[in-house]
Amino acid sequence: MVRQLQEWLASSGLDVFNSGVLANLIAICALLVISIVLNFVGRQLLLGIVYYVVSKSETKWDDIFLKRKVFNNISHYLPALGIYLVLPIVFLGSPQLIDIATNLVYIYIIFVSVLVLDSFLKAIQDVYQEFEVSKKVPIKGIVQVLQIVVYFVGIIFFIALILNKSPFYLLSGLGALTAILLLVFKDVILGFVAGIQLAANKMVMQGDWIEMPKYGADGDVIDIALTTVKIQNWDKTITTIPTYALISDSFKNWRGMQDSGGRRIKRAITIDMNSIKFCDEEMIERFSKIRYISDYVEQKKKEVAEYNSLNKVNTEMLVNRRRLTNVGTFRAYIVAYLKNHPKIHQNMTFLVRQLKPTELGLPLEIYVFTNDIEWANYEAIQADIFDHLLAILPEFDLRVFQNPSGQDFQRLNCKEKAD
């Protein structure tokens, strides 16, 4: 059996007992041993020293480079360098084998270089994320573009080695494929340009709350990449939007509210207009005992008395006299109440106004800002304010307008039957 195998190898030109073939086999085995030894030295000795230095260092960036395996990938250069140096010695007299082995080493170096640059770019991005400026000017899109360039150049060099052509020759040949490349990398190009515009104009930053109804997005920006922007909605779902859509379409960014330190309350109480009336003496006396508007009532009483006296108004007709109204007094109470509220921002827009009367009544709109922008706290402040105002409304002989419900009609029918 052994003799038959030897005869078959000899007929194929691979006689292992031939001194040249045997020498080459021994040389290949020697290269494998050298590469294993160098790889062991690089990973155990050199990386051990790197690990020790990093563990003693107080900076964080070297830990990030270690985590991204930058040093691990660099250590792979050592076997390639060692083999490259010993090739002329090991394959002495075999120029063809030297050329083949050299090309294989070059391919390995290209592969390792791509890994090193890729891990290095990721580490740079992680280091940048440690700085506060990363939230304002993200570089993830730029890093991804550089990664694509690294892989693209690596593939070009790999093909150039296989075809034994210059890389510049291959690059010049890509000119005819420009249209196809633009079509294939359309999203990448649009995303890259959009990312630059977003960063330069500070339109969107990581952590911003944005609304984009067209894409069903309403939440915080958690990632800005080359071609996509990820938004975590308030229901914890994730919406992915093309980066260039933030340039071509409109969206609302709530960062201004967050930076200002105030969050707007814009809500109205609709007053039943049938309950609006002039204040009589009993009502004025009652209003003067209310803490927030006692001074207001006294001041208005003096103003009204002076006006009526100065203009010699005939007080026999109520329509001739200047008088207080319950709705105007209630509006003054709202102003005074909010002025004394510890959660209302007093240095921002502050309005309590009447809107246009409608078939639903007279809207009294409150347009103020809270000094707490946290969503839960804001909703609690707003609810407490309107709880109080709705509860205090009957004290001013006012009613809130509300469409009649089925229970109201049922009560009316019961009253008619009783009559």
Secondary structure (3-state) at 148: helix
**What local confidence, expressed as pLDDT, does residue 25 receive?**
60
Q: Which residue has the tokens 């804001």?
A: 378
pLDDT at 369 (0 to 100) = 96
* pLDDT-flagged residues of the chain (< 50): 1-6, 8-10, 13-20
Tens digits of per-residue pLDDT, 74-99? 887 877 777 777 766 666 666 777 77
What pLDDT score was predicted for residue 367? Answer: 96
pLDDT at position 356, please? 93
For residue 368, the model assigns a pLDDT of 96
pLDDT at 269: 94
Tokens, residue 185: 């990398």
Neighbouring CB atoms inside 10 A of 287's CB total: 23
Q: How far is CA 205 from CA 132, 242, 256, in A?
A: 11, 15, 12
Q: Which of 156, 161, 184 is nearest to 171 (CA)?
A: 156
Residue corresponding to tokens 């933030």: 246
Pairing of strands 252-253, 238-242: unpaired
Residues 353-399: tens digit of each pLDDT: 999 999 989 999 999 999 999 989 999 999 999 999 999 999 999 99
The span from the CA of 31 to the CA of 87, in Å, is 8
What is the pLDDT at residue 57?
Answer: 77
List pLDDT tens digits, range 122-148: 998 888 888 877 777 778 878 888 888
Task: For the chain, give every residue range classified as CATH 2.30.30.60.
Answer: 201-254
Distance CA 249, CA 190 (A): 14
In this prediction, residue 128 carries a pLDDT of: 85
Interhelix angle 140-163/95-129, rounded to 10 degrees, is 180
Helices (H) and strands (E) in the chain, counts: 19, 8
Using DSSP's 3-state secondary structure scheme, residue 344 falls into: strand
- Which pair of structure tokens corresponds to residue 418? 């009783």
Q: What is the pTM of this model?
A: 0.62
- Residue 394: its pLDDT value, please? 92
CA separation for the pair 92, 101 (Å, rounded): 12
- Contacts with 108 (C-beta within 8 Å, 6 or more apart), sequence order: 76, 80
Q: What is the pLDDT of residue 382?
A: 95
**CATH code of the domain made up of 201-254:** 2.30.30.60
